[in-house]
Structure 1
Amino acid sequence: MTEAEWQNLYENFETTRILAAVDSVDSLRDELNDRDHGAPPVIRDDLLKLHQLAMAVVNNGARRQAGEFFDLAGALGDQVNGMMEALEQIRDTLSDLMGLYPESLDYADGSDD
């Protein structure tokens, strides 16, 4: 890496963004990790419940369950939007970092300079 490339990296990237990406991963772990005793994540159970409600409302005409069906769909949508924001933060951090990729590394001779 040349001095100019290092200076560009130094001036245009905050390393704390990587720690923020770690925080984003941790928030996703809260949403997607298995529960005690190997039980699947809550979102999986909620999606299965949404399917059950969809079968009742859409296929069987159980209109009295429509409120519960749409409430759950909205809550799941909000949850997924939050997960998407976390993933977008990670993607943006990595994309910005790779945008600063030093051209000299394409021709690196193995030195740390």
Structure 2
Amino acid sequence: MQTRTLVISLLLFCLVVFAGAFVIYDRSQGTNEPAVVEKTPLVRDYSPVIGPEDAPVTIVEFFDPSCEGCRAMNPYVKQIQAAYPDNVRLVLRYVLFHKGSEEAVR
């Protein structure tokens, strides 16, 4: 009987300590607002930008005009831009994956 009471008391104590720690941790986290990032190393000043400058979502696409995979993704990117014209901006970063890409980028 004493062992049972001791085990139940210990479990209740652990539950109270855990609940208290959770409440303290939750309060210390502050608000759940996302962090605002002003600059990103992926967006360059010389990169072509399509869409509003103040859009909440920025898609950075590493793009090679000679790449078939890049061309295959283009309709999906256009679809996202068409669905959310005021909320998405597209930043193109040209990369050279294939022969002849230098001429296509110029």
TM-score by length of 2: 0.31
Rg: which structure is higher?
2
The answer to which structure has the higher strand fraction is: 2
The answer to which structure has the higher helix fraction is: 1
